[in-house]
Amino acid sequence: MKGEKKTPVKGKGMYVLALCGVLAVSGAIYAGNKAKEQPEEKQDLVDLNETPEPTGRASENTPNPQQELVTERDELLQSEDGKQLAETAPEQQTGEVQNVASGEKEQTTEGKAPDKEETQEAIKPAEESTELVKQPEQSQDEPVKVAEQPEQSKEVLSPTAADLKFSKEEGLILPLAGNVLKAYNAEHAIYFETLAQFRTNPAVFLAGESGMEIAAAADGIVTAITQEDKTGLTVTMDLGNDYRIVYGQLGNAQVEIGDYVAAGEAFAVLAEPTKYYSLEGTHLYLQLWNGEQTEDPLSLAKE
């Protein structure tokens, strides 16, 4: 009707305007928050393929993602599990291999082992070589060396007193070729010029010259070497079977007690006679014992 007021319509329009204003303010606030969040999210994204530009000295407290990766890798290698993994299966590892010096990454294809030297430099610590040293093979041309047998001493090879078996049938060899100055006589006394008396003679005096070699009359072992007043340097030998022989008026004997001397082997030289037999002349004193009795050496001499 024409006379009525339209107040409700005007109030509705004001409400719509107020609502639009609220929406506009809310949109502005939302846009402002988006604008603030956009740089912060961008800062969290790091392109590992891009080399970072130097920006001066970094703060000591600022975390470095690459340094953290290197630290984790070193801790893994130093642990027992990391050492075992690096020692047992270095060629089976695939994937990304971090180059610590340059910050670059190398991509290895699956199923293909990385180069041995590069893997050892980047991942595996230096290890001592465990290769066995090969022993040099002996040449076939070289003769085989045979161990030398130690030489046996003279005492080991020499017969013992038990091995000596003297018998009258074997006889004696004359120690030197010379005339008989004094014959054997154990029952009747004979005259000695130097002593100027008659005495029995239990030995034989064989004439010779000073320095002549004296040979063993039979195989024997030296049992005594003495210096006697009447016979001078005297050597006694065991012949076996209770026989022994005595050589007197010797010089420069080349034997020692226990030595074995074969029949006919020279072992001393003839010396000048002692003062008790000086007038008889240079001679060899030769005496043969059979047990406790003497025998004539010439009776057993070989022709």
d(CA 82, CA 143): 53
Each residue of 256-266: pLDDT tens digit? Answer: 999 999 999 99
> Which pLDDT score is estimated for 141?
57
Its pTM surpasses 0.75 = no
CATH code of domain 161-300? 2.70.70.10
E strand spans, 20-163: 96-98, 105-107
> Which pLDDT score is estimated for 227?
96
d(CA 217, CA 298): 11
> Which pLDDT score is estimated for 100?
40
> Which pLDDT score is estimated for 134?
52
Q: Domain residue spans in the chain?
A: 68-122, 161-300
**Backbone torsions φ then ψ of 124, nearest 5 degrees:** -85, 130
For helices 80-88 and 65-78, angle between their N-to-C axes, nearest 10 degrees: 80
> Which pLDDT score is estimated for 250?
97
> Which pLDDT score is estimated for 19?
81
Is 184 in contact with 201 (CB distance < 8 Å)?
yes
Regions of the chain with pLDDT less than 50: 1-5, 40-43, 46, 55-59, 85, 89-113, 119, 125-130, 132-133, 146, 153-156
Each residue of 5-57: pLDDT tens digit? Answer: 455 555 667 777 778 888 888 777 877 776 665 554 444 554 555 555 554 44
Opening angle at CA 203, ends 198 and 207, nearest 5: 90
